[in-house]
Amino acid sequence: MTWSPGPVVTRRRLGGELKRLREGRRLKLEDVARRLECSPSKISRLENGKGVPRWRDVRDMLDVYDVQDAGMRDRLESWARTGQAKMWWRSYSDVMPPAMATYVELEWDAARIQAYEPFVVHGLLQTPDYARVVLRNALGSSAPERTIDKLVEVRMQRQDALKQEHGLSFACVLDESVLNRVVGSVDILKAQLEHLLTAAEAEHVDVRVLPFSAGLVPGSRGAFAKLDYSEGIEHGLVYVERPPVAGEFLADPAEIADHEAWLEGLYAAALSESDSVPLLERAVRRIDTTDG
């Protein structure tokens, strides 16, 4: 399946092109806003990829910038239509902090994700019961059950990105301790490990284990992920987890390079997927033996 950009990346790509065209004409935001009879903040939001583009607005902006090239006009107007697509996570804005919503948006549009998790299974691979315990631990006992329920729903819907037709390539290194850490109960852990074995069967999903024997590897003390895009975000982004429930994105090229080097080291130190699967199977059998 060939990856194609969704609404988030398309909006960013469209916004960048509109900004380039405006600056090429040496126009200020206020100049364009005056011509379109709207606020400068609306133009700014469109250029930053944060506003929902209306085909008519984009058409009028192209007129202001005197874009005559029919091919370019068709392309940008097509991007505007793609950028209008409804994003399912918006219906959960009452329970998702802004940082989490941003992550879900960017995760959904990624073409490839490479992640490392030292403590728990990555959210894209969690079962509902496992996710519930992780979220309850992160938010504390005072969080309403309804909030936890909806956040579990978000986590499960995020996993639609792993469907073959979505086009995401996903690879994750899990520290070996994750296979032994009881989250909720041994039954929940067992079901989670069995789910990992099933997920690892997909060609576009790569699950690996960093064994205890690898020792302390640079970058192995905190969870992070590298998100890459075929279009729209040239060098990709790095997401670094910051408890309890959200984190921060790194876009600085030097910071991205550091995390890419750490990922390379982690993958080199981790077992191959074919060697990781037997380790997962042994962890399941160990639970069965203990229960017996």
Q: Are 169 and 145 members of one domain?
A: yes
Nearest-angstrom CA–CA distance, 135 and 151: 8
Residues spanned by the domain of 282: 88-291
Q: Are 33 and 105 members of one domain?
A: no
Q: Please report the pLDDT score of residue 2 as a whole number.
A: 40
Q: Which CATH number goes with the domain that contains 248?
A: 3.30.870
1 falls within a domain: no
For the range 66-70, what are the long-range contacts, defined as Cβ-Cβ under 8 Å and sequence gap of 24 or more? 66/25, 67/21
Percent of the residues in the chain that have a pLDDT greater than 70, as a whole number? 93
Six-digit token string for 241: 């987890």
274 falls within a domain: yes
Q: Are 68 and 100 members of one domain?
A: no
Q: Which amino acid is at 218?
A: P
Q: Please report the pLDDT score of residue 108 as a whole number.
A: 86
pLDDT at 120 over 50: yes
Claim: this prediction has a pTM higher than 0.95: no
Q: Are 191 and 234 members of one domain?
A: yes
What number is the average pLDDT over the span 262-283? 96
Average pLDDT, the chain: 89
Q: Which CATH number goes with the domain that contains 74?
A: 1.10.260.40
234 falls within a domain: yes
Q: Are 53 and 186 members of one domain?
A: no
Number of domains within the chain:
2
Q: Are 156 and 117 members of one domain?
A: yes
